[in-house]
Amino acid sequence: MSQRLSFLAHGRVQGVNYRNFAAKKATELGVTGWCRNTEAGKVEGEAQGSQDALKQFMKELDNGPSHAHVVQLDQTPLDVKEGESGFDVRR
């Protein structure tokens, strides 16, 4: 059964390939959704997939790519969206 959540990554997450890292991990795990930079220097997004896939995806986002330093990763449950395919990096 699919679940969806929003996330907000705090720390050094811009300029370190964090969004592309998120997209790569989402694709590997079969997670759909999107992410983008915020004006406040954070990365926000939404992710949808199985409970196990989302748990692993959030673990990957909490670690981030090698040059990132995630200090906090907020998560909020959302309603599932039908018909979504892929994971988009938004500008």
Q: Taking Cα atoms as reference points, which of 12, 13, 34 lies closest to residue 86?
A: 34
Q: Taking Cα atoms as reference points, which of 39, 31, 38 lies closest to residue 60?
A: 31
Q: Which of 4, 17, 19, 20 is catalytic?
A: 19
CB atoms under 10 Å from CB of 37, counted, come to: 17
37 catalytic residue (yes or no) = yes
19 catalytic residue (yes or no) = yes
Q: Which of 37, 63, 90, 91 is catalytic?
A: 37
Hey, which residues are catalytic here?
A: 19, 37
